[in-house]
Structure 1
Amino acid sequence: MTKVGETVLEIDLRALEHNYHYLRSKINPSTKFLGVVKAFAYGSDSIAIAKKLESLGADYLAVAYTLEGVALRNAGIKLPILVLHPQQVSFATMIEKCLEPSLYSPAILSSFLKLAKQLGQKNYPVHLKFNTGLNRLGFGEKDMEFIASSLEGAEQIKISSLFSHLAASEDMNEKEFTLAQIQLFEKISSQLITKLNSQPWRHMLNTSGIINYPEAQYDMVRSGIGIYGFGNEASEDEKLIPVATLKTIISQIHKIEPNESVGYNRAFVSNTSIVTATLPLGHADGIGRQYGNRVGQVSVNGKLAPIIGNVCMDMIMVDVTGIDCKEGDEVIVFGKKPSAEFLASSAKTITYELLTGISQRVKRIYID
């Protein structure tokens, strides 16, 4: 861990390596591994994470949107990149940058086929997404004949994979639903493989799926939150290491007397003498107003200090009464302890939202 004199997001690429190998240990050696690096690699740094995954031997990367994939290509990333939610307007750019689209509806499939033909493509790799219960994106079972007829003689594309997405793989109370999703995907994909007379890869498991349903790993698995150090379950979190640690410092210490207020709108009024520390980060950096008024806590010299008053755009104030600290001391907002899960759950949200919300103005530093 490094000492800092400002607000930084420390990205530990050694932790990423640990998490990658741990998740790899859960699957067969022959199963391909796709690392999800969308949303700035879950709020960290998509380029640094992608380069590390490439060096570790990952087989694929995935992003949500085309521009995310373009940024990786411009940074020299050579791995195949699946774009999970492409829009028709970006298809030409995708082909130019060798990005592989998820085709998820009749309109999207038809549009990409038309453009690929216009651009003289042959065997351009694409992936077909099927909806088995999440009800966001994907072809349905009813679309099988349309897909088969559309692809008959269509030499401009090659179906690299068929895939779906589990809705509740982390919740064992929903095991019956998850098994039904797996069963439906097995049925749809097997039927389509027969119709296509080809053998595309199949993949369905996300991080919690890798942990809870390894029997459905097929040819490839996809991990997002897991490679960043979270397993969606306390026992799994212990086996993973958070990649991102948000650090800051104490800018100023104040002694607050009874009946004095702290911050905007006098949201906090003290009923006793306390000591506060002002930290240089706020909701513009990703610590939302929901963490104010003693909801969220940070670590000051190993002790928890609650955020008091309203979170400001660029600052938060914390109660350090009884904590031995001084101006310039380092503060851990989240990392190993307290974890991002601890902070997020205090505000009744999820780790994903907290991590991906860290502003790009926060300086990234790297450990490898």
Structure 2
Amino acid sequence: MPEAKETVLEIDLGNLAHNYQYFRSKIDKNVRFLSVVKAHAYGSDSVAIARKLEELGTDYFAVAYVEEGIRLRENGITKPILVLHPQFTHFEEIIKHCLEPNLYSEKTLRAFIETAEKLQQQHYPVHIKLNTGLNRLGFDPPELPRVIELIQHTKTLKVASIFSHLAASEDWQERDFTVGQIDLFRKMSWQLIENLEAEPLLHICNTSGIINYPKAAFNMVRTGIGLYGFGNDKTVDPALKPVVTLKTIISQIRTIEKGATVGYNRVFTAQDTTKIATLPVGHADGINRIYGKQKTGVHINGQFAPIVGNVCMDIIMVNITGIDCEEGDEVIVFGGKYHPNDFAEAGGTISYELITGIQRRVTRKIVNG
């Protein structure tokens, strides 16, 4: 019997390097590269991922929240870090740890100027977010004169970048909308640049934008999901390599007779004599109930085993009838040649939600480091 292991999320830094180089190859050598490592680097390990990306030559990092940036700083990451959604209460921490805030409203702009003045800062790098149609965060066009006025009347800030976010860059049916966003971003950016006499970085291209709208690269692009092996396009995905693989083991095998039921609420009934394997992974680990009732499954020794019954908190059961396997054998939930996209889509969701939902109690294992 193979040596027993545990449920692990393998993080392949070789695959990360491959994906980074792929997206680098799509932009001019003078265009800077921002790597998004928010949400534990899309569910993996932000420190390990950021260290590798810094080694590979990324120019910038982005995180969602201040504590994510602090963790990177405390683990030796030195490249600039943009905080995409900072809160007022953390502005002093931002300055203390040399992080760079996204200022997306008059209230955030005023508050950060006040904090920077109190801490006697000069030309502290900040990023101005423009709303070009996603309608999430950012200044609208009529607000720009006020932005210009506030920045002109302080020496505490330096506009490091002006940026926006594309709403549907992966969808060719939304091409007119996307082109409109890019045009509006260009106009709004130049209004700021002309009045502030600044030379900031400009970035609007996300992963799909890099692929589909290369002329909108300006002087920086940013990618998150692409680095982890997802191109948001079935024609691009084969060129990328998923960074994470979720593996587990078979804890127990049992044979049940026709008519026997499996799991909570008895939602699976055996139609014949059936072999069932129990695996130590469940919805508390990120494999949610949407994947149960044979919507999808796992792979054991190269063969597909559907999930039967409801997903439990710590356990799933799979049908291994006809599969040659033993207790302790390795199980691939997703990853490698079993693309996470397929697993996610079978449950009616997207890869982003699947990979960022793998909980921290699952052991992380770095490979090809």
- TM-score bin (small chain): over 0.9
CA contact under 8 A between 1:245 and 1:332: conserved in structure 2?
Answer: yes
1:291 maps onto 2:291 in alignment? yes
CA contact under 8 A between 1:258 and 1:273: conserved in structure 2?
Answer: yes
Deviates more, 1:295-304 or 1:33-42: 295-304
CA contact under 8 A between 1:34 and 1:220: conserved in structure 2?
Answer: yes
What is the SS of the residue equivalent to 2:145? helix
Q: What letter corresponds to residue 343 of structure 1 in structure 2? A: F
CA contact under 8 A between 2:4 and 2:328: conserved in structure 1?
Answer: no
Shift of 1:4: 7.0
Q: Distance in 2 between matches of 1:50 and 1:114?
A: 31
Alignment of 1:9-158 (within 5 A): 9-158=9-158
Q: Distance in 2 between matches of 1:114 and 1:223?
A: 32
Deviates more, 1:165-174 or 1:264-273: 264-273
Alignment of 1:161-176 (within 5 A): 161-176=161-176
Deviates more, 1:43-52 or 1:249-258: 249-258
What is the SS of the residue equivalent to 2:71? helix
Q: What letter corresponds to residue 364 of structure 1 in structure 2? A: R
Deviation track 1:118-147 (CA, whole Å, cap 9, x = no partner) reads: 110001000000000000000010111101
CA contact under 8 A between 1:4 and 1:247: conserved in structure 2?
Answer: no
Normalising to structure 2: TM-score of the pair? 0.98
Q: Distance in 1 between matches of 2:311 and 2:17?
A: 35
Deviation track 1:305-352 (CA, whole Å, cap 9, x = no partner) reads: 110001011110001111111111111101022211001000110000
Structure-2 residue corresponding to 1:349:
349
Structure-2 residue corresponding to 1:337:
337
Return structure 1 stretches of 4+ with deviation > 4 angstroms: none
Q: Distance in 1 between matches of 2:348 and 2:133?
A: 25
Shift of 1:153: 3.3
Deviation track 1:225-280 (CA, whole Å, cap 9, x = no partner) reads: 00000101112110000000000111111111111111112121112111111111
What is the SS of the residue equivalent to 1:245? strand
CA contact under 8 A between 1:16 and 1:243: conserved in structure 2?
Answer: yes
Q: Distance in 2 between matches of 1:215 and 1:9?
A: 37
Q: Distance in 2 between matches of 1:271 and 1:348?
A: 26
Alignment of 1:163-312 (within 5 A): 163-312=163-312
What is the SS of the residue equivalent to 1:235? coil
CA contact under 8 A between 1:264 and 1:310: conserved in structure 2?
Answer: yes
Structure 1: segments with no counterpart, 5+ residues = none
CA contact under 8 A between 2:7 and 2:281: conserved in structure 1?
Answer: yes
Normalising to structure 1: TM-score of the pair? 0.98
Q: Distance in 1 between matches of 2:322 and 2:271?
A: 16
Q: What letter corresponds to residue 155 of structure 1 in structure 2? A: K
Q: Distance in 2 between matches of 1:302 and 1:173?
A: 38
Q: CA RMSD in A?
A: 0.9
Structure 2: segments with no counterpart, 5+ residues = none
What is the SS of the residue equivalent to 2:360? coil
What is the SS of the residue equivalent to 1:78? coil
Deviation track 1:6-59 (CA, whole Å, cap 9, x = no partner) reads: 100000000000000000000000100010000000000000000000000000
Q: Distance in 1 between matches of 2:209 and 2:303?
A: 35
Q: What letter corresponds to residue 282 of structure 1 in structure 2? A: G
- Count matched residues: 366
Q: Distance in 2 between matches of 1:336 and 1:178?
A: 33
What is the SS of the residue equivalent to 1:284? coil
